[in-house]
Amino acid sequence: MNRPLVVSYTDMMDYGEAWDLQKRMVHDIDAGEQQEHLLLLQHPPTYTIGTQRHPEHLLISEEDRKKKGISVYQIDRGGDITYHGPGQLVAYPIMFLGRGKEIDLHAHLRNVEEVIITYLRSFGIEAGRKEQYTGVWVGNFKICAIGIKFNRSTSYRKDFITSHGFAFNIKSGLQSEGFGGIVPCGIEEFGVTTLEDCTGLVHTTEQVARELVPIFAQQFGFDPVWAAEVHV
């Protein structure tokens, strides 16, 4: 029997609020006070700098960034700098790794990638991985960035609880709106793309979220239970 997974979609949530929410969920899930959860949402325009800490990959001046209303956060996930904004589906799986099973952190990343690869295949898009890089690629263009933190459980010493997750580019125009001000993920030689650019079709983030959930649940062995959107 699969474990239950609470799933929620929130149309827009400030990045700082979402980060605080993840920390609380990690604590509550570890303490057995809450079920594992998949947060699906969009963020206002935001740059996040991961633990690799390369502030030089933020190319836009502070003045121009403020004019565009883009926030900046230095955070505790793995990876370099990336952009979040409207038209991008962000997913934060707050879930156990372990529970009596051998833990392979790299395999977990590959499983997250497989969710997006499987979804894109339903549109006839041949997506895949690129050696030395995490994420999902269509040719030489990244369509989904992945950055995960593995939090050591205090209740189950050999286990982890994941936070942060993946950012799936949906709407056309993200390249000029946000990615143009950074070196995305610190990778200079390749670009980014979106689902709409690849399919020529119009998609909403909520539509994509609902279509992705069954794939995610099957990949990780969950039974999804939809809940109302989360309010901080």
Q: Where are the beta strands (DSSP E) in 78-207?
A: 81-84, 88-94, 96-97, 128-130, 133-138, 141-152, 160-169, 191-192
Instruction: Calculate ∠ Cα 36-21-14, nearest 5°.
Output: 130
Catalytic amino acids? 185
Q: Which CATH number among 3.30.930.10, 3.20.20.140, 3.40.47.10, 3.40.50.300 corresponds to the domain 3-226?
A: 3.30.930.10
166-204: pLDDT as tens digits: 999 999 988 777 888 888 888 878 899 999 999 999 999
Least confident segment among 101-115, 171-185, 214-228: 171-185
The helix/strand/coil state of 190 is coil
Tokens of 106: 């790299």
**Residue positions forming the annotated binding site for substrate:** 77-84, 145-147, 165-167
φ, ψ of residue 172 in degrees (nearest 5) = -65, 150
Residue 55 is predicted with a pLDDT of: 78
58-67: pLDDT as tens digits: 888 889 899 9
**Residue positions forming the annotated binding site:** 77-84, 145-147, 165-167
Residue 102 is predicted with a pLDDT of: 76
Q: What does the domain layout of the chain look like in residue ranges?
A: 3-226
What secondary structure does DSSP assign to 23-68, as a single string? HHHHHHHHTTSS--EEEEE--SSEEEE-TT--GGGB-S-HHHHHHH
Q: Which amino acid is at 213?
A: V
pLDDT surpassing 70 at residue 100: no
Arithmetic mean of pLDDT over the chain: 92
Residue 232 is predicted with a pLDDT of: 60
Residue 231 is predicted with a pLDDT of: 62
CA–chain centroid gap for 50, Å, is: 13
117-173: pLDDT as tens digits: 999 999 999 999 998 899 999 999 999 999 999 999 998 878 999 999 999 999 998
